[in-house]
A and B are shown apart, each in its own frame.
Chain A
Amino acid sequence: MTELIDFISNNLQMIYIVILMIFVGVEVIGHVPAVLHTPLMSGANAIHGVVIIGAILVMLGADPENKLALSLGFVAVLLGTLNVVGGFVVTDRMLEMFKKKK
């Protein structure tokens, strides 16, 4: 029990963020027309590419002698970049088509 209380008091800020962000996510998506579901999914897909920051932090903190960590980190950064760049570019391409109507 004390562990739980410790955990909450140590991470209060993050817990706030998690709870508030859940509500923001729900609100933001709330009343979107079905037409935009695909671009929206694709846009959200690009945003979770933020995981690349974790991969970069792994690399930055890695021991340069540890070849395994470096190679895995390299792959993680590469895949994260694919997720981010591919995700945003594809979303843009989808949306470009919506815009063309005169």
Chain B
Amino acid sequence: MEYTFSLEFIYLIASVTYILGLKMLGHPETARKGNLIAAGGMSIAIFGTIFLYQGEVPQIVYTLIAIAIVIGTITGWVVAKKVDMTKMPELVSLFNGMGGASAALIGLIEFHHNIGDQLSILTIIAGMIIGSVSFSGSMIAWAKLNGSMKKPVRLPKYNIINNLFLIGLLAAATYIVMSGTDSQLYLYLLFFAALLYGILFVLPIGGADMPVVISLLNSFTGLAAAFGGFLYGNMVMLTGGILVGSAGTILTLAMCKAMNRPLANVIFGAFGDSGAAGGDDSEIKGSIKEASPSDVAILMNYSQKIIIVPGYGLAVAQAQHIIHELEQLLISKGIDVKYAIHPVAGRMPGHMNVLLAETNVDYDKLVEMEDINPEFQSTDVVFVVGANDVVNPAAHNNPASPIYGMPILDVENAKHIIVNKRSMKPGYAGIENELFYNQKTSMLFGDAKDALTKLVNELKNM
């Protein structure tokens, strides 16, 4: 495909904005501007493509493009603006799926234009498969995150089935490329098989690992876009796609590192499998101590230093505002209050920071794991709100546990531990937490928002 010089030049500028944008997204002060710069680059690339296109285009096509862009813009904008901050991760997954689907559709349409040109067919098939996997995988991840699909579904021997399926898929793709077939039937069969693989790929992975999966699928979509760039000799698709593919891979690995789990472990699932076995032999002894909101209020009232450990339960209950109120109240009583943020607290790295920042919690009060861990020893009360696996001591002392080796917040070093949970149900990893049976631990049962509201009221009356 031929591009005019002006369009090539616009693509060049757009490519630079992507690099600059991503770079600036990496620093808290410049992040917002970086995002806007990349968005600006994207806009000029899109409009340049439409208006500087070489060739006769019937009016109807322009109209259709305009309608699609208007509908997409309004819908995307409204959804992105309206959705709750707690639902952010699934939204990213949803948008990622849209991109994947777009790449897959391009492949479906372009296939028969390029029969006979083996290299083009190769890029088309590759882009289509990756895009399809990314789409259906993202949809499953989305369903899992918004709670419509709670438990990981595992067919017996799912690893073998999945791998055989993948091999079959690749073999079929190779056949289509090598044979030079013009069969639309084969193409659509391959398309559906790729969609099915995306489902099989994500289905067995547990909800706690979804951020890693989304990040991985994100880089997949980048790759699919890059294949489109190859096909059209389109530089901006190529640079944007490869950039996201490579940055997404690094981000995926960084997330895995934060959880201390190798990527292969996430994909081929060790969570749960060994957990079932590990759960039996480590029967936890001890009893649960329950505390009322007024007990907790008294304890907090006479403390000097309190550390709050927020988790996903806080996000689900929408309790981020009330926890901020609690924090302010305690500070007004002269108590030192901090938040301990585990790297994977919430459903995505940084998710908790976003939620708390929304309520105006002072940035300096959010302390990352390595910095806060030494402080627990001198802490009077640790208040764990809706967090579970990230404070489970099994990660330190039970080699049979599926989360063994994951860095955790050492809350058990504090003098008192208050845990707010809805019930004794295990966390996302599906394992028991001996912290709850610790002599220093008291359980404050109830929905985070209700329990915190009661607690705040008790404290106000003191």
> What is the interface of chain A, defined by CB distance below 8 A to chain B?
7, 11, 14, 17-18, 21-26, 28-62, 64, 69-70, 72-101
Q: What 0/1 readout, one digit per residue, does chain B (238-264) give for beta carbons within 8 Å of chain A?
A: 111111111111110011001000000
Q: Are A37 and B254 in contact (CB under 8 A)?
A: yes
Q: Is B57 an interface position by the 8 A CB rule?
A: yes
Chain B, range 382-413, C-beta contacts under 8 Å to A = none
Q: Are A45 and B26 in contact (CB under 8 A)?
A: no
Docked pose: A24 CA to B69 CA in angstroms: 30
- Among A30, A40, A45, A56, the most chain B Cβ lie within 10 Å of the Cβ of A45
Docked pose: A96 CA to B45 CA in angstroms: 25
Docked pose: A96 CA to B50 CA in angstroms: 31
Q: Are A92 and B69 in contact (CB under 8 A)?
A: no
Q: Are A34 and B258 in contact (CB under 8 A)?
A: yes
Closest 3 CB pairs of A and B: A81-B72, A25-B246, A86-B76
**Segment touching A, from B88-96, B290-298, B443-451:** B88-96
Q: Are B105 and A48 in contact (CB under 8 A)?
A: no
Contacts A28-B19, A80-B72, A86-B98; A21 near B242 (Cβ below 8 A): yes
Interface of B, helix, strand, loop or mixed by DSSP? helix
**Segment touching A, from B34-42, B157-165, B167-175, B431-439:** B34-42
Q: What are 19 sample pairs from A and B whose C-beta atoms fall under 8 A apart?
A: A22-B245, A25-B22, A29-B250, A38-B349, A41-B214, A41-B218, A44-B22, A47-B243, A53-B228, A58-B106, A58-B110, A69-B109, A76-B101, A81-B69, A81-B72, A82-B72, A86-B91, A88-B39, A101-B362
**What is the chain B residue whose CB lies nearest that of A19?**
B242
How many B residues face the partner with a CB closer than 8 A? 115
B251 partner residues in chain A, CB cutoff 8 A: 29, 37, 40-41, 44
A21 partner residues in chain B, CB cutoff 8 A: 238-239, 242-243, 246
A70 partner residues in chain B, CB cutoff 8 A: 61, 64
A24 partner residues in chain B, CB cutoff 8 A: 19, 243, 246
Q: Is B58 an interface position by the 8 A CB rule?
A: yes
Nearest-neighbour CB distance to chain B for A2, whole angstroms, equals 14
B248 partner residues in chain A, CB cutoff 8 A: 25, 41, 44
Q: Are A52 and B102 in contact (CB under 8 A)?
A: yes
Contacts A28-B23, A28-B247, A81-B68; A56 near B49 (Cβ below 8 A): yes
Nearest-neighbour CB distance to chain A for B109, whole angstroms, equals 5
Partner of A56, one of B50, B79, B81, B362: B50
B224 partner residues in chain A, CB cutoff 8 A: 48, 51
Chain B, range 89-138, C-beta contacts under 8 Å to A = 89, 91-92, 94-96, 98-99, 101-103, 105-106, 108-110, 119, 131
Q: Are B26 and A28 in contact (CB under 8 A)?
A: yes
Q: Are A25 and B247 in contact (CB under 8 A)?
A: yes
Q: Are A59 and B80 in contact (CB under 8 A)?
A: no
**What is the chain B residue whose CB lies nearest that of A49?**
B99
Q: Are A57 and B241 in contact (CB under 8 A)?
A: no
Docked pose: A39 CA to B245 CA in angstroms: 16
B94 partner residues in chain A, CB cutoff 8 A: 86
Q: Are B92 and A42 in contact (CB under 8 A)?
A: yes
Partner of A83, one of B31, B77, B96: B96
Partner of B102, one of A34, A51, A62: A51
B245 partner residues in chain A, CB cutoff 8 A: 22, 25, 48
Q: Are B25 and A37 in contact (CB under 8 A)?
A: no
B31 partner residues in chain A, CB cutoff 8 A: 36, 39, 95, 98
Nearest-neighbour CB distance to chain A for B231, whole angstroms, equals 7
Nearest-neighbour CB distance to chain A for B145, whole angstroms, equals 13
Chain B, range 271-290, C-beta contacts under 8 Å to A = none
B42 partner residues in chain A, CB cutoff 8 A: 46-47, 49-50, 84, 88
Docked pose: A9 CA to B248 CA in angstroms: 29
Q: Is B311 an interface position by the 8 A CB rule?
A: no
Q: Are B235 and A91 in contact (CB under 8 A)?
A: no
Contacts A28-B26, A35-B350, A44-B248; A99 near B32 (Cβ below 8 A): yes
